């Protein structure tokens, strides 16, 4: 009999700046997350559509490569998976409303903010052991 693996939540990071994307990914990996990193909202939407992922946290910049903004992605994520904790970041004021329950972080933000958000997300995930489509 094999041993069961402990639950590891997945974070989806959507940032077109490779340095920021890598920094966020490293911080979340240190917080025991599996990380999927994308540079566009379109790529992230494909990830959100795949069954079986245990995505609990979506962090996205507003301005991304591609046609879709991070705000549009936040709306899609909330509509399809309301349990996902969503954080939208930008160096500029928002011109579009965010979906309910979404957090907005103005840039620059501190690395400790990412670590705190990672901890809060895991604490509030009642269905932590379930994957999309289960």
Task: List Cβ neighbours of 22 (8 Å cut-off, separation of 6 or more).
Answer: 37
Is residue 91 within 8 Å of residue 107, measured between CB atoms? Answer: yes
DSSP assignment letter at 116: H
Q: Of 127, 108, 40, which Cα lies nearest the Cα of 76?
A: 40
pTM equals 0.86
pLDDT value for 24: 96
Task: List Cβ neighbours of 38 (8 Å cut-off, separation of 6 or more).
Answer: 12, 13, 14, 44, 47
Is residue 58 within 8 Å of residue 74, measured between CB atoms? Answer: yes
DSSP letters spanning 63-85: S-BSSS-HHHHHHHHHHH-TTSE
Average of per-residue pLDDT across 50-59: 89
| Per-residue exposure over 67-106, b if at least 16 CB sit within 10 Å of its own CB, e if not | ebbbbbbbbbbbeeeeebbbbbbbeeeeeeebeeebeebe
Per-residue pLDDT at 43 exceeds 90: yes
Per-residue pLDDT at 53 exceeds 80: no
Residue-wise pLDDT tens digits, 85-106: 999 999 999 989 999 999 999 9
């Amino acid at each position: 009999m094999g041993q069961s693996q402990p639950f590891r939540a997945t974070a989806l990071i959507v940032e077109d700046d490779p340095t920021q994307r890598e920094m966020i990914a490293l911080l979340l990996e240190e917080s025991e997350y599996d990380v999927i990193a994308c540079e566009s909202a379109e790529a992230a939407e494909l990830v959100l559509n795949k069954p079986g992922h245990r995505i609990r946290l979506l962090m996205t910049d507003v301005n991304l490569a591609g046609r879709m903004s991070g705000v549009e992605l936040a709306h899609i994520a909330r509509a399809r998976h309301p349990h996902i904790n969503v954080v939208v970041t930008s160096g500029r004021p928002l011109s579009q409303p965010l979906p309910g329950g979404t957090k907005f972080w103005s840039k620059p933000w501190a690395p400790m903010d990412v670590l705190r958000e990672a901890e809060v997300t895991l604490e509030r995930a009642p269905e932590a052991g379930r994957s999309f489509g289960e």
